[in-house]
Structure 1
Amino acid sequence: MHELGVVIEVVKTVEDFARENSLMRIDTLVLQIGELSSMIPRFIEECYPAAVDGTLLADTKLRIEVLPANGRCTACGKVFHPPTDGESCPACGDTRFELLGGREFMIKEVIAY
């Protein structure tokens, strides 16, 4: 499970941000994860308590927003959802498309109080 190592790095990044901005308490950390990302939201949630143990984020809540995957057909320009529509354009059937989103993994928000 590579998610633990990634979450530990996220925690370090947020701790650095908190120190640089004189934040004493963080209530919620919001992550955005694309549905085609190699990060699995359920595994992120499971390893989060271990990653924040003994850190500034020890008592924080984790909120995950899953971002949908979207592709754009390079033949006709139709935007579609590859995970449910398949890897061919539902409008013209062409299999060439560019992925517009769905592989993201980012810190969206640090909510402090």
Structure 2
Amino acid sequence: MHELGVVIEVVKTVENFAVRNKLTKIDTVVLQIGELSSMIPKYIEDCYPAAVDGTLLESTKLKVEILPANAICRSCNKVYNLLQNKKECPFCKNKSWELLSGREFLIKEIVAY
């Protein structure tokens, strides 16, 4: 499970940001995880308490937003979700597409108070 190592790096990144910006209280960390990323959101959520233990983020909440695996059809130029449509354009049935989103793993927001 590589998620723990990734979450520890997220915690370090957020702590460094907080120090540089003189934030003393952080309420929530918001992550965006693409449907096609190698991260499993449930594992990220499960690892978070251990990763923040003893850090500036110890009492923070974690919010995870899932980004859809969207593609654009190379034939009809319509956007659709790859996973929901089994990698086939629901409009023209073509299987040639270009990925638009879904591989992301981002720190979207740090909510401080």
TM-score normalised by length of structure 2: 0.96
Q: What is the deviation of 1:100? A: 0.6
What is aligned with 1:7? 7
> Match of 1:85, SS?
coil
> Match of 2:107, SS?
strand
Q: What is the deviation of 1:107? A: 0.3
Identity, in percent, stands at 65
> Match of 1:88, SS?
coil
Q: What is the deviation of 1:104? A: 0.8
What is aligned with 2:106? 106
Equivalents in 2 of 1:89, 1:111: separation in Å? 38
Equivalents in 2 of 1:89, 1:30: separation in Å? 31
What is aligned with 1:91? 91
Q: What is the deviation of 1:109? A: 0.5
TM-score normalised by length of structure 1: 0.96
What is aligned with 2:79? 79
Equivalents in 1 of 2:111, 2:84: separation in Å? 33
- Amino acid in the other structure paired with 1:61: K
Equivalents in 2 of 1:61, 1:80: separation in Å? 32
1:24-63 to 2 correspondences below 5 Å: 24-63=24-63
- Amino acid in the other structure paired with 2:46: E
Equivalents in 2 of 1:29, 1:89: separation in Å? 35
Equivalents in 1 of 2:45, 2:54: separation in Å? 17
What is aligned with 1:64? 64
Q: Point out where structure 1 has 5 or more consecutive residues left out of the alignment.
A: none
> Match of 2:54, SS?
coil
Report the more deviating stretch, 40-49 or 79-88. Answer: 79-88
